[in-house]
A and B are shown apart, each in its own frame.
Chain A
Amino acid sequence: MDTRKSVVWSEIISRWTITLGGLLVIVAVLTIMVFLFWVAVPLIGGGKQVGSVSYALPSSEKTAWLYADEFQTIGIRVGDQGEVLNFHIPSGQVISRSNVPFEGRRLTASAGTLERDRVLLGFDDGSVQFMRLRVETRTTPGADFPQAASKIDGRDFQFEDSVYTRVLTGDYRTLRPLNEVGATEKISDLPIVAVDYRVGGTVERPTIAFATVDANAQVRVSQSRAQRNMMTGAEIVRTETTELPSMNLKPGVKVTSVLLSGSADRAIVATDDGVVYRYDLRDPSKPILAESKRILPEGVAITAMTFLGGEATLVVGGSDSTVAVFFWLQIEGSQTGDGFELVQSRLHDQSAVGAVLGLSEAQRDKSFVAIDDKGNVRVTHSTSDQVLFGFKRSGDPAKPVTALIFPRSDGVLLVSDTGQVNGWQYEDPHPEITLKVLFGKIWYEGYKQPEWIWQSTAATDLAEPKYSLVPLIFGTIKAAFYAMLFGAPIALLAAIYTSEFIHRSVRATVKPLMETMESLPTVILGFIAALVLAPLVEEWIGAVLLGFIAVPMGLMLGAFIWQTLPHQTVVRYDGMPKFLLISASIVLSVYVSIQLGPLFEIVLFYGDFKAWTTGIVGTGTPFMFLILLPLSYVAVSILFSRYAGHLYKAYVGDRERTVAGRLDMLRWLGLLLAAAMLSLLLASLLTLLGYDPRGGFIDSYQQRNALVVGFVMAFAVIPNIYTLAEDALSSVPGHLRAGSLACGATPWQTAMWIILPTAASGVFSALMMGMGRAVGETMIVVMAAGNTPVMEWNVFSGLRTLSANIAIELGEAVKDGTNYRVLFLAALTLFIMTFFINTIAELIRQRFRKRAFQL
């Protein structure tokens, strides 16, 4: 009889389904890894150029100032004869023209604010003129689109002096240049050679500040406050001008530029012999020349100088092609007039060989564009120290040029003196990220030195986010380290005891209990850690510290008392009663610690441990004494058994068990006393040598700290390690055990010298698995670790792990934004860390299984 078709088909279908389904696991793991990688990789991919234009403006004037709107549609150029030219950036078509009445004055200097919309022009008769450039943006509904509009290019239309751009919704974005000419102010009798202009305050009440330098190198700072007359509504501008102290320039040295900081509290003047002068204007009535710093060799001119966005970082370009970045930092013991000093933080890539012709900053991030006299145009992100784009300008490369970065940091526009326009449009979503930013030390604005910092949301709009993963990786390792420090010994010792020494009936109750621990949701552990344990530990820190000594002591004391008991008693109560006795001794030690905790704190830590940790009171001796105590004990007992061990053995000899037990207790107490003395001696010696643990692994106490996290996370890893280690120990073949015991070894000797070495690889694998769990644990850390991304080993300070950071920040991160991708990179890092740990553990375990099977 033939097999029925349905049977054959179901056979084929099932085989394929199951095989494919089985391999789906590999697919799942690979998908996770590849997907995380795929999301993270654009971070360091760099940007791409998406368009460029090049044409000449129909104008004979030289360029004094340049403005562009955020849609890269309309550019406004102010010429040196007063012509204001509004042109369509993509095509070069002139939209409209107007004129500023210069009235016979010759333009000698020009400057503007960071947004480039407010301009100050300086003239040869010592006067300055204000201007406001603006592009008004409206949305015109599709139905209202003027039919008479003429087409400029594939995208835009012009009607009268407005440019219409069709957007996705079918409406038209309408842009219209609106330029206002402001007041004129007479500042000096000599020609103005450099100006700078800042506008602060509120929209209703702007405060205007500007700096001028005249041909005599006299620097002046003027501040105007617009006041509106309540009755008439007229605006009165009051200007107060302060003359700054002289720089005493050498004859022939000329000022090349002046800068005013954002809040007008510093003025910086650059000269053509490479020196920068910094004025402190915090007290307007008493301006001081705080510092003069040579930043380029003698004879090298500072050709361009600008602030980066945020106006706390100075970029300087020289005629020798140098582009360097400076901060002014408060430095202790500084010789300058105000305690601050200009510090060079970066020297940007020098492969561009020409003298720097111009510098211009971006408004939204810390990038800038530099143009040299060889025609190179380089867009550089300062903090991440990477050249984002390099372009070559057309026309004569040595001609002076005015440049800007578009407001959305998505392109560069240049207009040379001959009216030659170069524009490049690019996309670079993550200019601030490089591998060095993610993993290396970066010198951020306002910091004293390069550091690893995680601060993904900046305090202000102009401060930059800081994305170093190192503090997070450090936090992860720190939390895992303290968790393993508490968890690993407990889990391993408990596993050995369960597998080798405990009665079967006890084991049947104890093991499931420990396994229940594994299924405890970590959110519960975290909650207990943060809301119950952390305040308790803070309040009873003395008792907790004492407990670390008292519990082992109590156990040892119990063991030595047990040794003095007669043989029959020991035999009778072995098993459950003994285990209960062990538990009782722990409970008793904890009780004693709680009772003596305050006393302990008074004796060792001047009554207040938390005050002690700050380093105000006392010395490091008491804590070092506690740390060194176990080490001293080990040292002392090794010395004893080496030099007096045989004498002691001979003396104890064949005595009764009870007597031998008493002698042994005496020996223990003696050794303990010796160890305490040694420890005290060493601790005092260390203090004398000037070592103090405070400031290192001990520092000021925070309620949510690594001690609490380690303790509770140990709770999460103990069952993991315990179960796996116990399995490994139990799977050591019974005949090894039997053989050892038959040769006369005690159970202790068997466990120590036969079972443990055989199962070592399995036990090690268990430890690795526990480590993997500790590295990835999230909820406990989120709740109990305080989440401060600091890099210190201090047991009493908080930490922020990769996992907690993801849990906290990913919910708010904008999809495909920089933070989103960096968080995916954090997840990938975590994945790779645990992947290695787990794969190694699994390989070791497979080898151990094979070996155990062979035995």
Chain B
Amino acid sequence: MASTDNGTLPGQKPRGRVVRRFTADLSATGEPALWALGGALAIGVILISGFLFLIAWNGFATFWPKPIAKVELLSGTTIAGEPTRAGEYRVGQDILALLSPSQKAGIEQNLGFANRVLYKTANFDLYGDDFRWVSEFEAAKVEYPKDLFLLERQQWGAFVGRIKGMTIRGEQLPFDYQLLQKEQSEARKRFAEIRKLERKDIGAVNYYLDQERLKIRKAILKHGEGSQEAQRIAKAAEAKIAQLQAQFTELQKRINDIRTQDRQYRVLLEEIGSRTLDTELSQIVRFYPANDISFFNKLGIYLSRWVEFLTTEPREANTQGGVLPAIFGTVGMTLMMVIFVAPFGVITALYLREYAKQGRLTSIVRISVNNLAGVPSIVYGVFGLGFFAYIVGGGIDGLFFPERLPNPTFGTGGILWASLTLALLTVPVVIVATEEALSAVPRSMREGSLACGASKWQTIYYVILPKAFPGIMTGLILAMARGAGEVAPLMLVGVVKLAPALPFDGFFPFIHLERSFMHLGFHIFDVGFQSRNSEAGKPMVFVTTLLLLGLIVAMQSGAIHIRNRLKRKYASDNF
């Protein structure tokens, strides 16, 4: 138990010494204890690396196209699906009783366990389930036929089966992969067009309709029912409403036209048990012959799935599609939180470092900071809901939006209250980091500035803050990392599973602070726990997890990077 010979300086940690004569009293070296200590550290390291690996592996592998297996069961039925995972399980007595002696013997040899594979059979609309376990002893034959397709649909999730035929411009044609691909991308364009008309144009019309109706109510509340002023406003608004409704009908007609056209493009599908399904081509998001596809095509599908994930809205109760609104919500809420937390945190740190006399008051401030850091996040959520949303927001509603009551505007959870709540939660992080940064500014610089005749505020503003800026940034980034990962308080103050509208859009005043929003963390909770089938949502959860984790680890390492650079810089400045 000795290592290289290097003399230790006082105050520095000794790293080794030479033991000239070794006695055999092993208890002095405490080797088993050392292994226990090292083992604890190793467990920590293994756990965290394993955890990161698990998420990365599952997250990255999710979108890779998998082959489709056709499994003939001994019972005579045939199923087709993507093998999702495999495992050993203990065979129950009721199942054992039904098996043949040879199968039983095999299981008994394996201590009562058997292998099984989970197939994603998809076709939820036909089967009522997305998955099926197949035990090893059940399967007669497994093969990978080239004519099996995987079709991702707008609704009902994926479809696994064959393509029997297609209808183009109302004309029935035999299945042609190239042509279908071309027509499918055309159909998707039509689908996007309908979507745009429905969401954007009709959305705008509805928005303005709502505004006009509110105008009438507001006028009545302000001038009294039946007053001349109110009647004048109501008349103007009603004219506008009529005009908007005409617009609405016009748009509706255009949508119907495209729909009619769209119905002429169809595809006939057949699942493995020969049941057929006739569906519109525009409902097919993506399709490919899973067992007859080259590596580069697979790569293309993989990338296109990532693009879809990052840039589109969710579908199928959030278990399919993208997470764009959630990304928007997370980033927007976190940025807004920084706007609130930065001044609060920096001012408190300045007070503690530059202004306050160290005494009982600062010690109370420090205990407060510490308690803010230690209070469970859910308590902030409770406070945010009760105080910000109900009391402050309710007050704002009564003063500024009486025409919308009893529907709350600010008087319920929203992105403003969420970011304020999280600002309160993360302020200790900023205070601690800023304090550290301020204390790292050398005394000589302060004294130099003051000696030149600068006032205290001038010194702080022109000398200390610029110097401490990277440290403050570190604090802010760490606060963002903390804030972006919090879910519990958000569940109470404004996060929803599916937000009807983003908090940012093209209508005045562009930023709608009162709106509820979606969040990546809550998305994970919602899809993993509230969806119809948590197994079907699992891949989505893993990818979202990977995204959220990537976001946070990126912020975290950015902060660590800045901190290290800062340390180096001052190491050279300070002597």
A residues engaging B (CB < 8 A)? 3, 7-8, 10-11, 14-15, 17-19, 21-26, 28-29, 31-32, 35-36, 39, 489-494, 496-498, 501-504, 510, 512-514, 516-517, 519-524, 526-528, 530-532, 539, 551-552, 555-556, 558-560, 562-563, 567, 570-571, 574-575, 578-579, 582-583, 585-587, 598-599, 602, 607-608, 649, 652-657, 659-661, 664, 668, 715, 718, 722, 733-735, 737-738, 741, 746-749, 752, 769, 772-773, 775-779, 782-783, 803, 806-807, 810-811, 815, 823-824, 827, 830-831, 834-835, 837-839, 841-843, 846
Contact = CB atoms under 8 A, between A and B. Distances in A.
Interface stretch (B161-169, B200-208, B247-255, B376-384): B376-384
A824 B457 CA distance: 42
B327 to A, nearest CB: 15
B12 interface: yes
Nearest to B110: A598
Given A531-B528, A560-B32, A827 B549 contact: no
B285 interface: no
A616 to B, nearest CB: 14
A830 B374 CA distance: 11
Contacts of A661: 26
Contacts, number: 359
A62 B43 CA distance: 84
A19 B351 CA distance: 6
Contacts of A715: 47, 51
B55 interface: yes
Contacts of B40: 489-494, 497
A578 B2 CA distance: 13
B175 interface: no
Contacts of B378: 776, 778, 803, 806-807, 827, 830
Given A496-B37, A521-B485, A521-B552, A807 B375 contact: no
A811 B491 contact: yes
A733 B525 CA distance: 46
B219 interface: no
B224 interface: no
Contacts of A26: 364-365, 368
Interface in B456-474: 456-458, 460
Contacts of B31: 559-560, 562-563
Contacts of B545: 524, 527
Contacts of B534: 531
A583 B46 contact: yes
B36 A493 contact: yes
Contact of A494 (B41, B54, B390): B41
20 contacts: A22-B351, A31-B387, A36-B386, A489-B40, A497-B34, A497-B38, A502-B41, A516-B553, A583-B45, A598-B113, A649-B25, A652-B24, A653-B24, A735-B10, A748-B29, A776-B376, A807-B488, A810-B382, A830-B379, A838-B374
B44 A514 contact: yes
Given A519-B552, A810-B385, A746 B30 contact: yes
Contacts of B507: none
B489 to A, nearest CB: 9
Closest 3 CB pairs of A and B: A776-B376, A22-B351, A521-B485
Contacts of A551: 39, 43
Given A11-B456, A489-B40, A510-B45, 11 more contacts: A7-B458, A26-B364, A501-B34, A555-B39, A556-B35, A586-B39, A598-B111, A659-B24, A734-B10, A734-B14, A773-B374
A473 to B, nearest CB: 14
Interface of B: 1-3, 8, 10-15, 17, 22-26, 28-49, 51-52, 54-55, 87-90, 111-113, 343-344, 347-348, 350-352, 354-356, 361, 363-383, 385-387, 390, 424, 427, 431, 455-458, 460, 481-482, 484-488, 491-492, 521-522, 524-525, 528-529, 534, 538, 541, 545, 548-549, 552-553, 556, 560
B549 A559 contact: no
Contacts of B88: 539
A35 B365 contact: no
Given A521-B485, A523-B485, A567-B22, A29 B44 contact: no
A582 B38 contact: yes
Contact of B34 (A653, A748, A830): A748
Contacts of A827: 378-379, 382-383
Contacts of B386: 35-36, 39, 824
A22 B348 contact: yes
A847 to B, nearest CB: 12
Nearest to A1: B453
A160 B560 CA distance: 82
A51 B549 CA distance: 60
A168 to B, nearest CB: 12
Nearest to A30: B368
A35 B383 contact: yes
Contacts of A582: 35, 38-39, 42
Contacts of B1: 570-571, 574, 746-747
Contacts of A519: 481-482, 485, 552-553, 556
B491 A807 contact: yes
A823 B24 contact: no
Nearest to B492: A810
A725 B410 CA distance: 44
Contacts of A35: 383, 386-387
Contact of B457 (A14, A574, A579): A14
B22 A21 contact: no
Nearest to B384: A32
Nearest to A748: B30
Given A539-B87, A734-B12, A748-B28, A783 B377 contact: no
Contacts of A782: 488, 525
B24 A656 contact: yes
Nearest to B40: A493
B34 A493 contact: no
Nearest to A773: B374
A606 to B, nearest CB: 12
B54 A532 contact: yes
Contacts of B13: 734, 737
Nearest to B13: A734
Which of A503, A571, A775 has most chain B Cβ within 10 Å?
A: A571
A531 B55 CA distance: 13
Given A519-B482, A583-B45, A586-B46, A660 B374 contact: no
A29 B41 contact: no
B91 to A, nearest CB: 12
B455 A11 contact: yes
Contacts of B361: 23
A8 B455 CA distance: 8
A523 B524 contact: yes
Nearest to A517: B48
Contacts of A490: 40, 43-44
B529 A32 contact: no
